[in-house]
Amino acid sequence: MKTGNVYRVKHNNKDYGEFKKLSDALYERDALFFCNFDYDLLVECDLENKYENMELPPFPEKRPKGRIKGMHVNKQEREGEILFDHKLRKFYIQRGDEIIGHYDTMTEAFYYKKLLMDNNWNTNVLKTNIKETVEVNIVIDPEKEYEVKLNYCPKCKNRLEIDATECPSCGINIEEYLSNN
């Protein structure tokens, strides 16, 4: 790795030396790899310097600082971002100056953002998708009887087939067992 006018040998964020000549840095690097980055073994190392009389290519000129035009596109411009509107208490998708939809949960907003990204930000896709809301906090009427389908045997806890009357493992009649207990 060239920094300034010197070559540095680095491994796992540790500096192992600075060298003025590229051939010396390459030899030190190879010797360190050969000795498993152990300085005690490096002193005894008798590895041949194969770079000594070799014509090595020069490093290219320094890279310009800052963003290279056309190489990177701002992630927010490309993907948009999910933000929270504190007045409405809802999430929304923003890409540039355009605000797309208001959603109750971040998961829902992320789903629609992904859908838009997959379809090159064509908002007509949102019109074709149907939103289904499942009410979780439903008030249960204690007077009404609800139909319950058992997936597991109440006695042995083995899995049951749909509409089974007997448990195949323990052999009990499920309806009799529930009415007695």
Confidence at residue 3, expressed as pLDDT on a 0 to 100 scale: 63
- Quick one: what percent of the chain has pLDDT higher than 70? 83
Q: In angstroms, rounded to a whole number, what is the distance separating the alpha carbons of residues 18 and 6? A: 6
- Between the two ends of the chain, the Cα-to-Cα distance in Å is 77
- Give the pair of three-digit tokens for residue 141: 């009427």
Confidence at residue 58, expressed as pLDDT on a 0 to 100 scale: 65
Asked if pLDDT for residue 133 goes beyond 80, the answer is no
Asked if pLDDT for residue 83 goes beyond 70, the answer is yes
pLDDT in tens, 137-176: 777 788 888 776 777 788 888 888 877 888 888 888 888 8
The pTM assigned to this predicted structure is 0.36
pLDDT band at 55 (very low <50, low <70, confident <90, very high): confident
Neighbours of 71 (CB within 10 A): 6
Contacts of 56 (CB under 8 A, 6+ apart): 22, 23, 26
Q: Which ranges of 8-105 does DSSP label H, i.e. alpha helix?
A: 22-34, 39-44, 75-79
Q: In angstroms, rounded to a whole number, what is the distance separating the alpha carbons of residues 124 and 118? A: 13
* Average pLDDT, rounded, for the chain: 79
